[in-house]
Amino acid sequence: MPADDFGKTVRLGEQIFLHTPEFAGKYVGNKLTCASCHLDAGRRPDSSPMWAAYLLYPAYRAKNGHVNTFAERLQGCFRYSMNGKAPPAGDPILVALETYSYWLAKGAPVGTKLPGQGFPKPPPPAQKADYARGAAVYTQHCALCHGADGQGQSSGGKPVFPALWGARSFNWGAGMGDIRNAAGFIKANMPLGLGGTLTDQEAWDVATFMDSHERPQDPRFTGSVQDTRAKFHDSPDSMYGRSVNGRVLGAP
């Protein structure tokens, strides 16, 4: 990293990325960090690395129906994945994260889709994704790090392995709440250090299991679960508004 004032901002961005609740706590509503999903401090291919994401903005996003700057995309991460609130434009938190991402992407071609960008898009599973099979995959491959209860692990009050559901996890509006996104991430990266060892079917099954638990409400909630599903979750890859184990997911 540069040994100047620009480098100081790059280093601050890296620290925010790795220790988000500590460095950006007023904008964070859970116990996740940016690196919970963007692995290796935003460097690892196939975990939506920042060196690749930075190159694709400005871009139109169907999620909010307009062209987003990279800073606005970061704001969305705080709102949904961090279950918090968006830092205002020009906030030092946003500036540092954008500077860090720019530094990671330096030298790469702007507007170009590169290998390892985003999360992989797995093919549809051979069998319909199944909660019970996913629970078995979770117990065998995931619970050691994320806990049998899905609440992750901390050390010294700092998150080590992220919570996958419940109040300390991402909310219903986050991209990881889309089963296909989650399956692609899991297939490529999980178990940690053993990415690619699960079958496509196992990845789909365990993603379905993970996304079939309660989590914080979608901040776009209209007051009606079914209306919110129709407007924002009208996809076979969303469990929002569906009944699992006798409870409608997302119901207040």
What pLDDT tens digit does each residue of the chain (252 aa) get? 889 999 999 999 999 999 999 999 999 999 999 999 999 999 999 999 999 999 999 999 999 999 999 999 999 999 999 999 999 999 999 999 999 999 999 999 999 889 999 999 999 999 999 999 999 999 999 999 999 999 999 998 888 999 999 999 999 999 999 999 999 999 999 999 999 999 999 999 999 999 999 999 999 999 999 999 999 999 999 999 999 999 999 999
Residue 115 lies in a domain: no
- Measure the CA–CA gap between 133 and 82, rounded to whole angstroms: 28
Question: Is there a single domain that holds both residue 87 and residue 145?
Answer: no
Report the pLDDT value the prediction gives residue 33, as an integer from 0 to 100. 98
Q: How far is CA 39 from CA 33, 60, 251, in A?
A: 10, 25, 31
Residue appearing with tokens 């065998």: 140
Residue 44 lies in a domain: yes
Report the pLDDT value the prediction gives residue 177, as an integer from 0 to 100. 98
Looking at the structure of the chain, the number of domains it has is 2
User: Could you tell me if 203 and 186 are in contact, meaning their C-beta atoms sit under 8 angstroms apart?
Assistant: yes
Domain that holds residue 192: 131-248
**The token pair that represents 37 in the structure block:** 């999903």
**Taking the model in full, what pTM does it have?**
0.95
Report the pLDDT value the prediction gives residue 1, as an integer from 0 to 100. 86
Report the pLDDT value the prediction gives residue 158, as an integer from 0 to 100. 86
- Measure the CA–CA gap between 177 and 210, rounded to whole angstroms: 9
We report the CATH number of the domain holding residue 232 as 1.10.760.10
Which residues, including other chains, have CB under 8 Å from residue 179's CB and lie 6 or more apart? 129, 204, 207, 208, 211, 237, 238, 239
In Å, how far from its chain's centre is CA 126?
25
